[in-house]
Structure 1
Amino acid sequence: MRFFNTAGPVNPTDHYYLDPLSRFDLEEILNLIQQKKYFVLHAPRQTGKTSSLLALQEYLNAGSEFKALYMNVERAQPARENIAQGIHAIIDEIFDRCASNHIIPDPRVLIDGLWDQYNELSVLSTVFSRLSIASTLPVVILLDEIDSLVGDTLISVLRQIRGSYDRRPDRFPQSIILCGVRDVRDYRIYSDQEKSIITGGSAFNIKAESLRLGNFSKGEAKSLCLQHTEETGQQFELEALEKIWENSQGQPWLVNALGYEVCFKMDAGKNRSVPISPGMIEEAKSRLILRHETHLDQLADKLREERVRRIVEPMIEGTSVDSTINDDDLSYVMDLGLVTRGPDGLQIANPIYREVIPRQLTTITSYNLEATIPRAPFIRPDGRLDTRYLFTEFQQFYRENSGSWLEIAQYREAGPQLLLMAFLQRVVNGGGRIEREYGLGRGRLDLLIIWPVQSGETQRIVIECKVLHHSLEKTIRDGLSQTYRYADTCSATESHLVIFDRTPGKSWDEKIFSREEVYSGTEDHPVTFPVTVWGM
C-alpha cells in the first residue's frame, strides 16, 4: 500500500506522488542543457527538489544525448572550513554515485593517483574533467544541497567549477545544475582564508539562469489527496480538500503531512469507511504543530536569525519594514518559504506557519503559563469562554509581567502581541483553536478564537490588537472600523479591540481600562456593531 511521503525523495512504489518532472519547466531545463549552460534550481526545504533532480537524472540517462550524474554534497558539510576534508568527501560521493549508476566503465580512473598530483584547490576540477573524458556522452552534473557547504569549502567548489567552464563539453561537464534553498547569487560567504565576504555572484559568475521550484497548485494538492481515494476507497469531503489547501497553501511537505496524519495516524482516519472531514484536517493540523515536527522546528529555528527577525517582527506588529532593511534579508526569508507576496503585500506563507511562529517565540513563557494559569476559571458552567474574565485577568498579568518579559524577549517590539497570544493559547488549548492574521503594513494583528460550546453552539471571538501611535481616540476609531471588517468576514459572535500603550513614563492606571464602544459604520453602510475596548 502506498502512503503520503513526509521524509526523503519520492518513491512511486511506496508514495502518492506528482510526476517530479512536472514540477518545473522541463523544456526550459533541456534547452539550457543543450546550450551548455550552468544554472541554479532553488526552492525551500522539503518541496521536492531532490525528487525532481533524481527524476531528471533518470530522464536524461534514458535518452541517447547525455550522461547525467546526481550527487549530494551534504556529506561534506561537517568539514566546514577544512577545504581538503570537504573536497575529499565530495569526490567520495562522485565515485560512489558513478560506481552505482555505471556512468563510466571504470570509476577508478577518477581517483587513481589523484591526491599525489593535485591539491584541494584543483582536485575537484580534475575529477570532473576525468569524468567527462571517460564518458561516451556529454556529462550533466546535478549538484544537490550546494548550500549545505560553508565558508572556504563552498568558495573552492564554486571556483573550481568556474575555472574549467571553458573546457566543456569534451573535458568538463556539458551542464551543471546547482540545487539548494537559495540562489547562488544571493550567497554571502565568509572566507576565513581571505578574511572577507565573498558573494556567490562573484564566485560563480558563469550562472546563466535561476529557476525556482514552486509549491503545489490547488489542483495538484487535490490530485495528490485523491490518489489515496483511488488506492483505498476512502473519500475526502470537498470541504476537507479545501481545508488542506487553506492550511498548507500548497507547501508540498505540509500537504503530505496533513494527509499522512489524518489517514494513517489518527484513529478515525484509519477507518477507510469514514470520509475525511474538515474537522479531522483541523485536528491533524493541531497535532502536527503540537508534536514539533522536524520540518516545522527547522523553519522555526530560523526565527533566531537577526535577518529573519528584521522581517518577521514588524509583520507580527502589523507595521512596516524599516527602510534600512536590505533586499538580501527579504530574499532570504522568501527563499526559506517563510514569507510570500500576497494580494495585500508580504505575508507569512500559510496558516500553519502563522501559528508556529508565535508559539516558537514564546515557548518558555507557554510552559510557565501552564504551571501558573489554570484553564478552569475561564470556562463558565455552560461551557462558554468567559471573555470578560479572560481579558481582565490578562490585563493584570500583562501589568505584572510585561516589563521583565520584554527585557529578555528577542522580538521585543512585537512582545505585547506575543505575550497576549501565549496567554490566549494557554486558555484555549485543548478546547478550541486560535486563527491568526498578520502581515506588513496592516496596522494591527487579527486573532479569531473558535470555541465549541457544549450545546453545539460555537463562540467565534474576534480580537483586534493595535499599538497606540497617535491619540487614543483616533486609535479606537480606526480600530473599531478594522474590528468590524474582520468580524464581519469571520461571522464573529463577539468582538474585542486591544490597545497596547507603550508611551514611556505613562502610569499603568492610565493605560489600563475597558469600555464599551459601538461602531456605526459609514453613511453609505450604517451599522450598529458593539466592540469591547481593552487598554493595556
Structure 2
Amino acid sequence: MLPPAQRLPETRKLIEMDRYFVLQGPCQTGKTTALETMAAELTAEGDVAALMFSCERARSAGDDVGRAEQLLLDSLREAADLSSWPEELLPPGPRPEAPAGARFSSALSEWCLRSPRRVVLFLDKVDALQGNSMVSILSQLRHGHNTRHMGRPFPASMVLCGLGNRTIAMGGAPEGSDAIVPFNVVAESLRLGDFTADEIAELYGQHTEATGQEFTKEAVERVFELTQGQPWLVNALACEVITKMRVSGSITGDHVEEAKERLIRARATHLDALAARLREPRVERVIAPIMAGTWPHTDTAFDDDVSYVHDLGLIRSTRDLKIANPIYREVLFRILGDRAERFVRADPHSFVLPDGRFDLPRLLEEFVVFWREHGEVLIRQDGYHEAACQIILMAFLHRLVNGGGQLDREYAAGTKRLDVLVRWPYTGPDGDRLVQREAMELKVWRAGENDPMPDGLAQLDRYLDRLTLRAGVLVIFDRRPEAPPWKERGGFEQAATPSGRQVTVLRV
C-alpha cells in the first residue's frame, strides 16, 4: 500500500490544529485502510489516542436514534478493545446516564474527561447513518465541537469519512427538510483520489522489491491507461496477473490486457456493485446522456445527481461528464447490453476470413438483419432509452468481436457520437503478429434535427486522423417518427470525409 500521509498530506496538519473535517472518496479507494493506518501511527507516537471505527452497523437502526447510538458506542468500544490499548485509554464501559439523542456525545465527553491523552476520532462510513439518526448524531457532534471552548471535554479532532460530504454538510437532513441544521464545523473537505502513474509504479515496485518479479514499463502504462489510477482496479489487475493467471516472469502489457478481460467477465465484486447502481434513477439520469453523447437538461436536481454519481466514482468530475476510466466505460455497455447480446445467434468464428482478418463488412450486413428482426423490441426495454441504439450495437459487436479481438469505446456528454475501435490480432503471411484496426462512429438522428451525416463525416475524419487510418464506418440510427418502417431499414452508401478518407455509411 502507499503511505496514507503521502496520499493525504493535509490530514496531519488539520489534526494538529484540532480541526474537524470530512474525508470523502468513491468506494474502494483506500479510505478505511488509510484511516486505520493513520490512527495507529498517531497513537504509537504517545500524545494522542486516535481511534477509527465504522458506523456501518448503525445503518440497520434507521430512524431509531437510541438504537443507532447504542450500535455506534458498541462499535467504538469494540474497535478500542481490538487495538490492544492500555486500560486508561479505553472508552468507558458503562454507558453514561443520558437520554436518547444525547447519549453518544455524553459518552465521548466522559471518555475525553478520563483519557490522559487528546482523543482523535475517525468515523468511517458515516453516511451509513439513516434519517433521524444521522441528524441526531451530527447535531451532537456539532454541539460537542462548539462547546469545547467552554471547557467541555470532547474529541480534539474528528474525521468524518464517507462517499460524499453533501449529506454531512446538510446536517444529515434530506433536501427540502425544515430540520436542516448545517454541519458547518468542518474546516476542510478532503477527497482521497486516484493513483497517479508514478504512484502505480511505486506500488508495483514494492512487489518487485519483495519478490523480484518486475512489471514492465509497458504494463504500468497500460494499467494507468485502463484504470486512470482507480485504486481497486490497480490492485485487482495486479492480483489477477499474479495469483490467478500465475504469471511467473516479467509482467507485460499483454498480461494486463488479459487480466482486464478476466476481471470484467468474472464481474468482480467491485464491478458488480457498480452494476447494481446503474438501475438507480438518479444514476441513469447522468449516465444515459453520457453514453448517448447528448447534453442533459441541467437544473438543481440534475446537479445533485451529478455530485452523487461523482461520489460513486463513476465519472471523472462534476464538470467533465465523462466515465471515470476505460474499464468502467466497457463495463457499463456490457452490463446494459446483456439482454440484447442474448438475441445474437451468429457464430463469431464465421466472421474470420481465411487470412485471419476480421470480416467487418459482413458483420455490418448481419447487424442489419439483426436490427430489422429485434431492434424494435430491444429499443423499448426498460431504462436507458436515450442510449438504446448505442447499447444494442455494442452488445452485437461484443458478442462477435470479443472472442478474438477487442473493442475500445470513447464517449462523453455533448459529443453527439460514440467512437468505436475494433482491434483484431492476426498472423500475417510472413508469420508476423499484426493487428487489424477498424474505426466506427455511431450517430443518432433525432426528431427535429437535421441529418447528422455531415457532422458525422467531419467527426469521423478527426477520429481516423488520430488513429492514422484511411477508412472508417459511420452508423446512423434514425429515431425520428418519420423514419422508414423497421423492415426497410439498413441501407449502405459510400461517402468521403472532408479530407478524402473513404467511409461506409450505414443507415438503420
Q: Which amino acid aligns with 1:118?
A: A
Root mean square deviation, CA, Å: 2.6
**3-state SS of 2:18 partner:** coil
Residue in 2 that maps onto 1:305: 280
Taking the aligned partners of 1:146 and 1:337, their CA distance within structure 2 comes to: 18
Matches of 2:81 and 2:164, distance apart in 1: 30
Give CA-to-partner distance per residue, 1:282-340, whole Å, 9 cap, x none. 10111111110111111222111111111111111111121235321111111111101
Distance in 1 (CA, whole Å) between partners of 2:72 and 2:446 is 55
The aligned residue for residue 192 of structure 2 is 213
Determine the C-alpha separation between the residues in 1 that align with 2:94 and 2:261.
Answer: 55
Determine the structure 2 residue equivalent to 1:466: 443
Residue from 113, 124, 129 that aligns with 2:109 = 129
CA positional deviation for 1:470: 8.4
Identify the residue that residue 290 of structure 1 maps to in structure 2: 265
- The 3 A distance-change label for structure 1 pair 98 and 216 is same
What is the correspondence of 1:284-433 to structure 2 with a 5 Å cutoff? 284-324=259-299, 326-341=302-317, 345-369=320-344, 372-433=345-406
Residue aligning to 1:534: 506
Q: Identify if the C-alpha distance between structure 1 residues 113 and 253 changes in structure 2 by more than 3 Å, giving closer, same or farther.
A: closer
Q: 1:59 to 1:320 in 2, by over 3 A?
A: same
Match of 2:4 among 6, 20, 41: 20
1:122 to partner: Cα distance: 1.3
Deviations 1:184-227 (A, max 9, x none): 45677987xxx985599735232221111111111001111122
Secondary structure at the counterpart of residue 498 of structure 1: strand
1:277 to 247, 252, 256: 252
SS at match of 2:101: coil
Match of 2:461 in 1: 484
Matches for 1:425-444 after TM superposition, within 5 Å = 425-444=398-417
Unaligned runs of 5+ in 2: none
Give the partner amino acid of 1:425: H
The aligned counterpart of 1:100 is 82
After superposition, give the CA deviation of every residue in 1:121-140 in whole Å (9 maximum; x if it has no partner): 11111111111111112211
Per the alignment, do residues 200 and 363 of structure 1 end up closer, same or farther by CA in structure 2, a change over 3 Å counting? farther
Matching residue of 2:54: 72
Distance 2:463 2:358 in 1: 20
Q: Cα distance, 1:466 vs. partner?
A: 0.6
Aligned twin of 1:445: 418
User: Partners of 1:345 and 1:88 in 2: how far apart?
Assistant: 42
Q: Compute the displacement of 1:424 (Å).
A: 0.5
CA distance in 1, matches of 2:320, 2:17: 37
Distance in 2 between residues matched to 1:232 and 1:30, nearest whole Å: 32
The alignment covers a number of residue pairs equal to: 500
Separation (CA, whole Å) in 1 of partners of 2:171 and 2:57: 19
Identity fraction in percent: 38
Distance 1:49 1:364, change over 3 A: same
- Partners of 1:415 and 1:139 in 2: how far apart? 54
CA deviation map 1:360-392 (0-9, x unaligned): 1122332343xx332233222333222122111
Alignment of 1:151-300 (within 5 A): 151-168=131-148, 170-185=152-167, 198=177, 202-267=181-246, 269=247, 271=248, 274-300=249-275
TM-score with structure 1 length normalisation? 0.87
Q: Work out the CA distance in 1 between the residues paired with 2:182 and 2:448.
A: 53
Asked if the contact 2:322/2:412 (under 8 Å) is kept, the reply is yes
Residue from 502, 514, 529 that aligns with 2:492:
514
**Cα displacement (A) at 1:243:** 0.3
Change in Cα spacing, 1:196 to 1:247, as seen in structure 2 (3 Å) is closer
